[in-house]
Amino acid sequence: MSNVLAFDLGASSGRALLGRLTDGKIEVEELHRFPNDPVQVGDRLHWDILRLYHEIKQGLLKAKHQGIELQSMAIDSWAVDFGFIGKNGELVGNPYHYRDRHTEGAMDSLFAQIPPSVIFARTGIQFLPFNTIYQLFALKQANSPWLQEGNRFLMIPDLLRYFLTGEMHNEFTNATTTQLYNPVEGKWDAELLRMLDLPASWFGNVLKPGAKAGSLSHSVCEELGIPSIPVYAVAEHDTGSAVAAVPATESSFAYLSCGTWSLMGTEVDKPVLHDLARKLNFTNEGGVADTYRLLKNIMGLWILQECRREWEREGKSYSFPELVQLASEAKPLQSFIDPDDASFLPPGDMPSRIAEYCGRTGQKAPETTGEIARCILESLALKYRYVFEMTERLSAQRFQGLHMVGGGIQNTLLCQWTANAIGKPVWAGPSEGSAIGNLVVQWIAQGAFANIGEARKAIRDSFPVAVYEPSESEAWSGAYERFLNVTGFAE
């Protein structure tokens, strides 16, 4: 039996999940859950990085108090965010959160200097305004003192790993999301760094998922009263871990990692760098076992989460199951939004932004809570169809159905509507995608699984997968035509 610990820092919360592997069966138990709320200070939105480090130590303590002997641990989180380590080995400043507005306009300003075609050809990464490259460019434009004081660049899981082990390493899956990593050369892109005037010495050697990245340091072990264990580099980009956990039997499959973000695509052996991939704004993010994730970001349940926060501010509080219930009672297929409209990216008053979007596109705005929730969920399902078809086109294959993983699959209505929208079955599970992907890569590193295929088989044997067959195909096909028109995708 092998016990390993996965820390998964998501937008709704951070968790420490204990994984037990016994005779090829995986069991997962949540040992610790903690908030991961960003902190607004003045104009800037920050990570609460030291509190998270504290919570990671609390997770280790909980394992100790339950008498669990751990073999290893690893951390995953969302991509693109980072901090700097100064010459004295300490953190410089408090890392920004990618939803902070400091990158507004940065992408377009940088394009005036480096054409997007050059950036894409060198990195294969989709253009998202918050990518690390634009964050760094914005810091440069703002003359941030971090750039003078910084000596090493570490992404969030790299940073927390450094606090735990004293070793500084950059991890591959996250490194690719910076849009500064060259997947063909297999290293940081020296030319882009030069064009941006960023010191190459900030960027360290890149560890692949499954590499040992240090051990808990003497001081951490002494403080917590625990023995030292290895800390692995896994797919530290949460989406990389989620895709590692897709329990597919096929060698090529379509997936949707469904949570605050929706990430849809397929796994490929080599990055797809041609013009169509750039035009469709697909990305090639580094994955496990030398694969790439050819995928596209879709705004996801974030819009509903933000509506819920807005309603809460107005004194009306709903649980997610209540919102789903209200959505199911509202009139079907009325008005649609493009979930990826730029107005939905920053935190804030989503119900008003939805009304504004509908006004702008000549549609009747949803009014009641149920109507708004329904508009969001149906629009997501329709956007999934759009991206599903693009994934098929780009990868020149037809998929039999769609694998859904992540917390969003608890929303059974969304799973069913997704099946209806794409007209193919949805296979949903497991919901703890990122944490399970994190665990299995640790087990591969320990030799408990020979490869990712074996790990995926164990996931299949250990967790239930719910099947949603498509229905109401005529209504959804008609809705899709209207969706394409109002969103402008029909052109």
The binding site for ligand LFR (CB under 6 A) comprises: 78-80, 98, 237-239, 261, 263, 297
- Strands 150-155 and 170-171, by their bridges, are unpaired
CA 307 to chain centre: 20
Beta carbon nearer to ligand LFR, 302 or 476: 302
Beta carbon nearer to ligand LFR, 8 or 310: 8
Beta carbon nearer to ligand LFR, 161 or 424: 161
Task: Give least dist CB 283 to ligand LFR, A.
Answer: 8
Handedness of CA 455, 456, 459, 461 (dihedral sign): negative
Residue showing tokens 């790993």: 161
Handedness of CA 16, 9, 255, 375 (dihedral sign): positive
The catalytic residue among 100, 158, 238, 338 is 238
Beta carbon nearer to ligand LFR, 72 or 126: 126
Task: Give least dist CB 103 to ligand LFR, A.
Answer: 12
Alpha carbon distance 134, 179 (integer Å): 9
76 included as an active-site residue: no
CB 91 within 8 A of CB 336: no
> Do you find a cis peptide bond into 430, omega within 30 degrees of 0?
yes
CA 228 to chain centre: 29
The β-bridge partners of 268 are 292
The encoded tokens of residue 217 equal 């340091």
Task: Give least dist CB 359 to ligand LFR, A.
Answer: 29
Q: Could you give the 3-state DSSP secondary structure of residue 89? A: coil
Beta carbon nearer to ligand LFR, 237 or 308: 237
Task: Give least dist CB 361 to ligand LFR, A.
Answer: 26
Q: What angle do CA 17, 22, 27 make, to 5 degrees?
A: 30
Task: Give least dist CB 148 to ligand LFR, A.
Answer: 26
> Which strand (E) or helix (H) includes residue 3?
strand 2-9
Residues annotated as catalytic are 238
